[in-house]
Chains A and B, each alone.
Chain A
Amino acid sequence: MAKVLAVAETREGQLRGVSHEVVSTARRLADGLEAEVEVLLLGGPGVREAAAKLGAAGADRVLVAEDPALAVYHPDAAVGAVSGRAGDDCELVLFAATAQGKDLSARCAARLGRPLATEVTEVEMADGAAVVLRPQYAGKAYARIRMAARPALVSLRPNVFPAGETAGRGEVEDLTLDTAPGRTRVTAFEQGERERLDVTEANIVVSGGRGMQGPENWKLLEELVDALGPQATLGASRAVVDAGWRPHGEQVGQTGKVVSPSLYFAIGISGAIQHIAGMRTAGVIVAVNRDAEAPIFGVANYGIVGDAFDVLPRLIEEVRSVRGA
């Protein structure tokens, strides 16, 4: 029976949310092909507990490799696992377009000699081939690409595909991998200084720009993020990252990260084309800027013309009151 292979991802023992999106997408495509969904789950001790969630998300078979050496990303073992399962019966291999997924998918494509489409926002099967839509030129154009290969490799942009509820058979099998130290060794994961979600993973992003006037004023944005709840996080414009006010990991835009949250606040950001390229696929965009002519208002669903320091305290208060926090 044909299959769609999906690669799940864990971080410090926890299944990452985007893996649900990847497995649900595999389920939807497999149903159209009358194929089954096989999911690879690699991780450290205890990772097996995530298998049930993957079954509920659509996996027919979860292959679990549980090994202390897999508690951090092990590129050589992971490439071996994927290429070992992506044989002739495999139509498609789906990854999350995360740091790990992008690295792993490129390695697997080279090993398998099969093409890869990165960060797609749509994927369908048509006449036996995968057809994907992906942003190019930092989101200024979208390419629809037909992939005449079996399997085709595809990584899905996080937060774009629905996490569905069509369960699969959920069988669990053990997978034994060679986890001896490989050519490339990940020796540590160092958590960033903040406990917040990464800007690509958050459902709500509050970004600040030069209109915030200095790094000391970020506490206002942090208060807004806290009021919006655990699904919210901080972002930043290139100008404030270049000025050293905020870390590069928060930068949204062409030379930063591309984000698609359901709600995006641009506070004191004028809206350079490079910034807009990084957030224009957000569901709802709110802009606060003193300059009524700022280009950010051209992409915002809702705008308030005003000073960030005037608007933010009221916004924090209102959000707290409607969220009961």
Chain B
Amino acid sequence: MAIGSDGRSLDPSGVKYVMNPYDEYALEEALARKEAAGEGSVTVVSLGPDEAKETLRSALAMGADEAILLRADPPADGLVVAQALAAALRDREFDLLLFGKQAIDDDNMQVPAMVAELLELPCAAVVTALEIENGHVTARREVEGGHEVVEFDLPGVIAAQKGLNKPRHPSVRGIMMAKKKPLEERDVELEASALEVVELTSPPPRPEPEIVGEGADAVPELVRRLREEARVL
């Protein structure tokens, strides 16, 4: 990974786009729910550039029924992304809207709760277990030192955390079938972002590493250094 010559963005050369791993948990949950119910459909939506079509195709290969590309080049601003998604979803009917808990590029962790708020829907984020009975959702949400139990009535929003399920791999048949499934493309206008990346830098360097010694005999010297030099013990 390299920072581009403008000093404000990544150098895109050699970057391969894949589905966000947390989105795989979200998609798996949707597919498993549909299979268990024996009815319904799964639509995958992505807001992004043309390259996102490849990710949508792999979602179709996993088993989604249809895909929608909201074509735009979104800034690293969760609010702008959420506003565009909410606008596109406002008139659609759905029971459950699933997200990954965060993207692993900008690590914002904002969009699911924002979309829920904009659509006036309930939301549980960072979910590791989900039960749905007669339209009532009970979700376990990971928090520091334990879990919160979150309940709401459908329709609602879930943001998936690792542990929710085990995402499937697309089968060869799934990949073949995906080519015939509908993939709608639509250009969307984004709101102006109030955020400006003025600089993107590498993390500050760590101090020069030092091997204190080998085996248990090095422990007294290590502890002395931690006390007298680093002053952390």
Assembly CA distance A185 to B136 (angstroms): 12
Smallest CB separation, A135 vs chain B (Å): 7
Closest-CB distance, B118 to chain A (whole angstroms): 5
Flag if A109 contacts B78 (CB, 8 Å).
Answer: yes
Interface status of A304 (Cβ within 8 A of chain B) = yes
Within 8 A of B (CB), among A109-160: 109-111, 113-119, 131, 135-149, 152
Chain A hits for B152, CB < 8 A: 183-185
Interface flag for A210 (CB, 8 Å): no
Asked whether, in the complex, the Cβ of A183 is within 8 Å of the Cβ of B147, the reply is no
Interface presence of B37 (CB below 8 A): no
Q: Give B193's nearest chain A residue, CB to CB.
A: A115
**A184 (CB) vs chain B CBs: closest residue:** B122
Does B209 count as interface, using CB distance less than 8 angstroms?
Answer: yes
Residues 184-205 of B contacting A (Cβ, < 8 Å): 193-203
Q: Contact check, B215 vs A103: say whether CB atoms are below 8 A apart.
A: no
* Chain B interface residue count, Cβ-Cβ cutoff 8 angstroms: 80
Q: Is B6 an interface residue (CB 8 A)?
A: no
Whether A145 pairs with B197 at a CB distance below 8 angstroms is yes
Q: How far is the CA of A298 from the CA of B106 in the complex (A)?
A: 25
User: Of B3, B10, B212, B216, which is in contact with the most chain A CB atoms at under 10 Å from its CB?
Assistant: B216
Chain B residues within an 8 Å CB radius of A105: 110
- Give the complex CA separation of A302 and B226 in angstroms: 9
On whether the beta carbons of A136 and B121 are closer than 8 Å, the reply is no
The yes or no answer to B151 lying at the interface (CB within 8 A) is yes
Contact of A188 among B107, B120, B149 (CB under 8 A): B149
The verdict on B12 contacting chain A, using a C-beta distance below 8 Å, is no
Comparing B61-69, B170-178, B217-225, the segment that makes contact with chain A is B217-225
Q: Give the chain A neighbours of B222 by CB distance below 8 A.
A: 286, 302, 304, 315
> A178-195: contact bitstring with B at CB < 8 Å (1 yes, 0 no)?
000011111111111000
B120, B150, B219: the one within 8 Å of A311 (CB): B219
A110 near B82 (CB under 8 angstroms)? yes
As a 0/1 sequence over residues 118 to 145 of chain B, the CB contacts with chain A under 8 angstroms (1 = contact) are: 1011111110100000000000111111
A183-B152, A255-B162 known; A283 vs B76 contact (CB < 8 Å):
no
Q: Is B104 an interface residue (CB 8 A)?
A: yes
The answer to whether B211 touches A297, judged by C-beta atoms less than 8 angstroms apart, is: yes
Instruction: Say whether, besides A184-B124, A304-B211, A145 and B195 are in contact (CB < 8 Å).
Output: yes
Verify if A212 is at the interface (C-beta below 8 Å from B).
no
Q: Is B213 an interface residue (CB 8 A)?
A: yes
> Is A301 interfacial (CB-CB < 8 Å)?
yes
* Assembly CA distance A79 to B123 (angstroms): 13
A132 to chain B, nearest CB (A): 9
In angstroms, Cα B213 to Cα A297, docked, is 12
Task: State whether A141 touches B10 (Cβ < 8 A).
Answer: yes
CB < 8 Å neighbour of A191 from B145, B209, B214, B230:
B145
The reply to whether A305 and B203 form a contact with Cβ atoms under 8 Å apart is: no
Beta-carbon contact of A284 and B232 below 8 Å: yes
Q: How far is the CA of A255 from the CA of B3 in the complex (A)?
A: 22
Kindly list chain A residues whose C-beta atoms are within 8 Å of the C-beta of B149. 186-190
A248/B219 in contact, CB under 8 A:
no
Inter-chain contacts of A314 with B (CB < 8 A): 216, 219
B128 in contact with A72 (CB, 8 Å): no
The answer to whether the Cβ of A310 comes within 8 Å of any Cβ in the partner chain is yes
Cross-interface CB contact of B194 among A75, A149, A204, cutoff 8 Å = A149
Q: Once the chains bind, are B219 and A318 in contact (CB under 8 Å)?
A: yes
- Residue pair A139, B203 in contact (C-beta under 8 Å): yes
A200 within 8 A of B: yes
- Please give the distance in Å from B59's CB to the nearest CB on chain A: 20
Rounded to whole Å, the gap between the CB of B88 and the closest CB of chain A is: 15
Q: A146-B195, A304-B222 are in contact. Are A135 and B147 (CB under 8 A)?
A: no
Q: Is B207 part of the binding interface, using a Cβ–Cβ cutoff of 8 Å? A: yes
**Residues of chain A within 8 A of B207, CB atoms compared:** 301
Report A301-320 CB contacts with B as 1/0, cut-off 8 Å: 11111110011011100110
15 A-B pairs, CB-CB below 8 angstroms?
A: A109-B110, A109-B114, A118-B109, A118-B110, A138-B104, A140-B1, A141-B200, A148-B194, A152-B194, A192-B147, A248-B142, A280-B203, A283-B230, A292-B211, A302-B222
Told that A142-B201, A297-B211, A306-B215 touch, could you supply 18 new A-B pairs with CB distance under 8 A? Answer: A107-B116, A114-B194, A136-B200, A138-B107, A144-B198, A147-B195, A185-B151, A187-B149, A187-B151, A189-B143, A189-B146, A189-B149, A191-B145, A248-B162, A255-B104, A303-B211, A304-B215, A304-B222
Q: Which 10 A-B pairs have the closest CB atoms?
A: A198-B144, A110-B117, A106-B113, A99-B143, A110-B114, A314-B216, A183-B122, A306-B215, A184-B122, A149-B194
Which residues on B are within 8 Å of A, measured CB to CB?
1, 3, 10, 21, 76-79, 82, 104-118, 120-126, 128, 140-152, 156, 162-163, 193-203, 206-207, 209-216, 218-220, 222-223, 225-227, 230, 232-233
